[in-house]
Amino acid sequence: MPNTNSHPRSWLPIPRDSDFPLQNLPYGVFRRKGEAPRVGAAIGEWVLDLAALHAAGHFTGNALARENVFAREGLNDFMALGRAAWAEARARIRELLDANKLALRDNAELRAAALIPQSAVEMLLPARIGDYSDFYASEHHASNVGKMFRDPANPLLPNWKHLPVGYHGRASSIVVSGEAVIRPQGQTVGRDGISPHFGPTQELDFELEMGFFIGPGNPLGTPIPTRAARDHIFGMVLLNDWSARDIQRWEYQPLGPFLAKSFATSISPWVVTLDALEPFRVPQPPQDPPPLPYLQCEENWAYDIHLEIWLQSEKMTEPVRLSTTNFRTMYWNIAQMLAHQTSNGVNTRPGDLYGSGTISGPAEDARGSLLELCWKGTRPLQLPTGETRAFLADGDAVIFKGWSQGDGYRVGFGKLRAKIVNHR
């Protein structure tokens, strides 16, 4: 694959610490007041209206010329076109924004129509999400949970190092960054462990994850091998898999997560492509025992993505950082997740979303959930205001940040932010 992530410059002014330089160009769906949603690319502080550029004749290659897949309410039609179309679009967008290519810069009318401040738009879900699956792929997270609730000497279940453990989530309750999360209600059990009652969760938690979107998908009965994963994975987002721990503790046996997870999943609006993340692929942690042949990878599939969790209570004027970790620590990678899910022949479709599972590192301040940071509520966090948190309170805002750091630039995901409310 040619290196498409050298050091080009744009004629737009872009700060060195921007999440959205010319090396990134993530895709999202936006709307201006009174206008229909459509697809854009983020560049610096602007949204580049790709539907307007297509209508002006700037996508003329074989894969994109036939119809304006950017004049849509989701990325699904573009995702379905596959890698050739993705590469064609990325190359053309970079060309239009390159400092040495002035076709857009010197067209004042088109520039005014196609370049919109991000502050002037509403970001929407990037795709129509038909199916959502979530995994449990961090050894550090799974070990912490096993130590808390099972055997500290043997925290991992026997299957854990042989397959990426996962479950099917609820696609209808996936929301975009900025949308509030309503505190869920459900059954919890008292101290006797027998008598349940119904009411709002008292143990609301976040889970720091990465999500990835499917492109073309596969026919029913045809698995996707790890070597073909790059043809099917469109790009990645930040993902918060909210959890009601007390509801989960009562309901999860024997079939696993249900109401404790399905009330909301938040994702960031900009989808960062695998091409943009290509310079940041790194070896993943050793897998011992070696996975079965269908889960083995011929190339590196871990990504060096720096991740942070921030919290802001209603009494705070600024958020405080709770945790710092990295996606490269994950035991199971995204190619293995996709290969395992489809190994039984299940079909995937454009816009399907996958969650990585909670991302936790080896250090205590690299954990991806309050369950771990506060060790099942026994070690509450002290906030700068004097407040404490073992789990989330109404009015708390949780912010995730993530980026890969290059030489003089970063490829970032923006922010994923949501506030806890209680409307009942």
- Write the CA distances from 189 to 196, 198, 217, 311, 371, integer angstroms: 4, 9, 42, 28, 18
Return the amino acid letter for 92: R
Confidence of residue 1 (pLDDT cuts 50, 70, 90): very low
Phi and psi (nearest 5°) for 138?
Answer: -95, 120
Do 82 and 228 have their domain in common?
no
pLDDT at position 424 over 80: no
Mean pLDDT of 404-422: 97
Note whether residue 22 is domain-resident: no
CA 411 to chain centre: 14
pTM greater than the 0.95 cutoff: yes
Do 54 and 203 have their domain in common?
no
Query: Annotated active-site positions, please?
Result: 141
The pLDDT tens digits for 301-326 are 999 999 999 999 999 999 999 999 99
Three-class SS of residue 8?
Answer: coil
Phi-psi label, residue 411: left if phi above 0, alpha if psi -120 to 50, beta otherwise:
beta
Note whether residue 21 is domain-resident: no
Do 284 and 155 have their domain in common?
yes
Note whether residue 176 is domain-resident: yes
Q: Name the burial class of residue 424, with classes exposed (0-12), middle (13-18) and buried (19+) by CB atoms within 10 angstroms of its CB.
A: exposed
Query: Do residues 134 and 261 lie in contact, with contact meaning Cβ atoms separated by under 8 Å?
Result: yes
The pLDDT tens digits for 134-143 are 999 999 999 9
Instruction: Give residue 6's pLDDT.
Output: 52
Instruction: Give residue 3's pLDDT.
Output: 41
Among candidate residues 91, 107, 124, the one where a domain is terminated? 124
Query: Position of tokens 């004042």?
Result: 108
Mean pLDDT of 211-237: 98
Do 117 and 153 have their domain in common?
no
Nearest to 24 by CA among 41, 40, 12, 39: 41
CATH code of 296's domain? 3.90.850.10
Do 394 and 291 have their domain in common?
yes
Query: What's the total number of domains in the chain?
Result: 2
Instruction: Give residue 133's pLDDT.
Output: 98
Phi-psi label, residue 147: left if phi above 0, alpha if psi -120 to 50, beta otherwise:
alpha
Instruction: Give residue 337's pLDDT.
Output: 98
The larger pLDDT score, comparing residue 162 to residue 66, is at 162
The DSSP 8-state label assigned to residue 345 in this structure reads: -
The pLDDT tens digits for 34-54 are 999 999 999 999 999 999 999
Note whether residue 13 is domain-resident: no
CATH code of 80's domain? 2.30.30.230
Among candidate residues 87, 105, 124, the one where a domain is terminated? 124
Query: Do residues 25 and 90 lie in contact, with contact meaning Cβ atoms separated by under 8 Å?
Result: yes
> The domain containing residue 39 runs over which residues?
27-124
pLDDT at position 7 over 90: no
Three-class SS of residue 394?
Answer: coil
Among candidate residues 75, 95, 124, the one where a domain is terminated? 124
